[in-house]
A and B are shown apart, each in its own frame.
Chain A
Amino acid sequence: MTKKLKKKLCLIGSFGVGKTILVSKYVKGIFSEKYLSTVGVMISQKTVEIGDCEVLLMVWDLAGEDDFQGLRLSFIKGASGVLFVADGTRAETLRLTQQHMERLGEFYSDIPTLLLLNKADLQDQWDIAEAHLDEVRGKVKVFRTSAKTGENVEEAFVRITEMMIAPDEPTTEAFL
Chain B
Amino acid sequence: MPPDSPQPFSDESVREGAAGSLDSVLAALDYLVLEAVEDASLRVRGAVPDWFESIYGGGIDVALAESPFLTCFVKEVARPLWKEAPTVPVRSGIWTEAVPDASGNELTELHLEAIAMHGANGAGLLVIQFMGRRFEEIQMLTQRANEKALEHRQLSREVQKKDVLLRCIVHDLNNPLGAVLLNLELLATSDDEQVKAAASLALEAARRQRSLIKSITEVFSSDLSRLSRNRGSAEVVGEFVRGGEYVVNMHLNQALRRSVSILLEDGLTGVVAGERKVIGELEPFVRAVENLVLNALRYAPRDSVVIVRLLALDEGMQVQVEDAGPGVEPELVGGLFDPFTQGTTNRGAMGLGLYFCRMTVEQWGGSIVYEQASGGGARFVFTLPWAGDASQHNYET
> A residues touching B (Cβ–Cβ < 8 Å)?
8, 15-16, 35-45, 58, 60, 63-64, 66, 72, 74-75, 77-78, 90-91, 95, 99, 102, 124, 126-132, 135
Contact = CB atoms under 8 A, between A and B. Distances in A.
Contacts of A58: 68
A45 B258 CA distance: 36
A126 B93 contact: no
A37 B72 contact: no
A33 to B, nearest CB: 14
Contacts, number: 92
Contacts of A126: 345-346, 348
A173 to B, nearest CB: 11
Contacts of B72: 8, 77-78
Contact of B346 (A15, A102, A128): A128
B84 to A, nearest CB: 15
Given A74-B77, A78-B72, A39 B138 contact: yes
Contacts of B258: 99, 102
15 contacts: A37-B146, A38-B96, A40-B93, A41-B96, A60-B69, A66-B149, A74-B76, A75-B93, A77-B72, A91-B348, A91-B349, A99-B258, A129-B346, A132-B298, A135-B299
**The 6 residue pairs across chains A and B that have the minimum distance between CB atoms:** A40-B94, A77-B76, A37-B143, A42-B96, A127-B348, A58-B68
A164 B63 CA distance: 26
Interface residues of B, number: 38
> Helix, strand, loop or mixed for chain B's interface?
helix
A63 B142 contact: yes
Interface string B139-156: 100110011011001000
B299 A43 contact: no
A14 to B, nearest CB: 10
Contacts of A43: 68-69, 95-98
Interface string B313-351: 000000000000010010000000000000001111110
Nearest to B113: A40
Nearest to B90: A74
B75 interface: yes
Nearest to B153: A90
B139 A37 contact: yes
A58 B98 CA distance: 12
B68 A8 contact: yes
Contacts of B345: 124, 126
Given A75-B93, A90-B153, A132-B298, A41 B69 contact: yes
